[in-house]
């Protein structure tokens, strides 16, 4: 089963906003409000940034926000900072036997 | 504070088995499930499955059914993941992670990762 589709890379300048998309199907992203986003810095474990489409765990900056429209979920980072440079992965519950799927990941570069 | 500490790196031959441990602290172990996620070198993340630390119920990714077993020891707050019949493409960093609620994803705290290398 294919992973959720994310752009391979996005970039932005400090202070700008960027959006990362995550496209699935009605069996996963479109069918359930169980989309999460993880941030991973090189050599480190991932960190939960958004869950249930738009909820932020305690301690996560409000510069990070999530949304969903149809089969596509989005992560928006506003006021980009150098420390935001990392890989970002979306994940979603799926009704298939895979149970949970990740996107292929998006490398965010802060110019 | 919540911590998940995993066992050290392993090198295994094809066909062998590996068992990775994950010791939890800083929360009530039986209140949340433990998920396992792996990441091949330079690649993305892959869900392997999860186990309820409350009753031992497991849910494995179909791709790994028959080769993976997840268990917990509530007396030591430790979770284990055993992968059998190892193949070269099982080479990856294996992470344990605590469920944010219940047993299934999302996960909010991660172990440091355990590198498993399958090499002849």
A16 vs chain B: nearest CA distance in angstroms?
26
Reported as a single tens digit per residue, the pLDDT across A13-58 is 999 999 999 999 999 999 999 999 999 999 999 999 999 999 999 9
Reported as a single tens digit per residue, the pLDDT across B28-42 is 999 999 999 999 999
| Interchain proximity A51–B63, CB inside 8 Å | no
Q: What is the pLDDT of residue B6?
A: 98
Q: Is B10 helix (H, G, I), strand (E, B) or coil?
A: strand
- pLDDT exceeds cutoff 60 at B24: yes
Torsion angle (degrees, nearest 10) of CA A3, A9, A11, A17? -10
Q: Are A110 and A11 in contact (CB under 8 A)?
A: yes
- pLDDT exceeds cutoff 80 at A2: no
Q: Are B70 and B80 in contact (CB under 8 A)?
A: yes
Reported as a single tens digit per residue, the pLDDT across B40-85 is 999 999 999 999 999 999 999 989 999 999 999 999 999 999 999 9
Reported as a single tens digit per residue, the pLDDT across A68-91 is 999 999 999 999 999 999 999 999
A5 to chain B: closest CA residue: B44
Q: Are B32 and B4 in contact (CB under 8 A)?
A: no
B14 vs chain A: nearest CA distance in angstroms?
25
Per-position DSSP letters for chain A, written without gaps between them: -PPBB--SEEEE-TT--EEEEEE--TTTTTT-S-EEEEEE-TTS--EEEEBTTTBPPTTS-TTEEEEEETTEEEEEE-S--GGG-EEEEEEEE-SSTT-EEEB--EEEEE-
The chain-wide mean pLDDT, for chain B, equals 96
| Interchain proximity A45–B47, CB inside 8 Å | no
Written as six digits, the tokens of B40 are 């091949």
Q: What is the pLDDT of residue A7?
A: 97
**Of B37, B62, B108, Cβ closest to residue A97:** B62
Q: What is the pLDDT of residue A1?
A: 52
Per the listing, tokens 């996960």 go with: B107
Low-confidence winner among A2-6, B5-9, B73-77 (lowest mean pLDDT): A2-6
Chain A residues with CB under 8 Å of B100 CB are 48, 51, 57
- Short-list A71, A94, A91, A92, CA closest to A25: A71
| Interchain proximity A45–B46, CB inside 8 Å | no
In angstroms and rounded to an integer, the radius of gyration of the C-alpha atoms of chain B is 13
Give the distance between the most distant pair of CA atoms in chain A.
41
Q: What is the pLDDT of residue A97?
A: 73
- Short-list A4, A39, A21, CA closest to A110: A39
- Short-list A96, A98, A53, A49, CA closest to A71: A53
Reported as a single tens digit per residue, the pLDDT across A85-110 is 999 999 999 988 778 999 999 999 99
């Amino acid at each position: 089963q294919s992973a959720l589709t994310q752009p391979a890379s996005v970039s932005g300048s400090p202070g700008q906003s960027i959006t990362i998309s995550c496209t699935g199907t009605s069996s996963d992203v479109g069918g359930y409000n169980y989309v999460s986003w993880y941030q991973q810095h090189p050599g480190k474990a991932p960190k939960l940034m958004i869950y249930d489409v738009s909820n932020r765990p305690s301690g996560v900056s409000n510069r990070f926000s999530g949304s969903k429209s149809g089969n596509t979920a989005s992560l928006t980072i506003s006021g980009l900072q150098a420390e935001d440079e990392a890989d970002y992965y979306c994940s979603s519950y799926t009704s298939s036997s895979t149970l949970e799927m990740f996107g292929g990941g998006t490398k965010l570069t802060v110019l | 504070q919540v911590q998940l500490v995993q066992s050290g790196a392993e090198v295994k031959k094809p066909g062998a088995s590996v068992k990775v441990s994950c010791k939890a602290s800083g929360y009530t172990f039986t209140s949340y499930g433990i998920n396992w996620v792996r990441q091949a070198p330079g690649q993305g993340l892959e869900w392997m499955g999860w186990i309820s630390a409350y009753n031992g119920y497991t849910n494995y990714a179909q791709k790994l059914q028959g080769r993976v077993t997840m268990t917990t020891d509530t007396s030591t707050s430790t979770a284990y993941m055993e992968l059998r019949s190892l193949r070269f493409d099982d080479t990856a960093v294996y992470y344990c992670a605590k469920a944010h609620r219940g047993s299934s994803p999302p996960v909010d705290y991660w172990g440091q990762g355990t590198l498993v290398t399958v090499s002849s």
